[in-house]
Amino acid sequence: MGTSIYPGKEETYALIRQGNFMPPDYYKTKMEEKIRIPVDNKISFMYSEFGCIVDYLIKTYGRDKFLEYMKRLTTDSHNEEVFKNVYSEDFDNFIGNFKKHVKDSGTQMKGEPNR
């Protein structure tokens, strides 16, 4: 993130807040074609988005849990099951929490109440 053509974290968050988001489960499937992401470089945005998701995952659960998750994925390709076993949370629920985190991390206007 934030190098070459890849947007940085804050730019990626701003683009997500504008409604741009590629559900990770859709990446490299027929469903990917149905997601409209009007940014300058869709693939660099998606990689930065996924980097932000990994960053949030590590900040939420810690590096050791993430390494355990990655290690398990090398022998079991069923992401949903592996994620649930390692994190005791559904992947879709985690993605929902990530999107809420991004929304809540937006810059507040002066005098705007906390949401």
Could you state, in chain order, the average pLDDT of each consecutive group of 10 residues for the chain (115 residues)? 89 96 93 91 96 97 97 95 97 97 73 39
pTM above 0.85, yes or no: yes
Q: Residue 94 and residue 23: Cα distance in Å, rounded?
A: 12
Specify the pLDDT at position 112: 38
DSSP of 33-73: GG----SS-HHHHHHHHHHHHHHHHHHHH-HHHHHHHHHHH
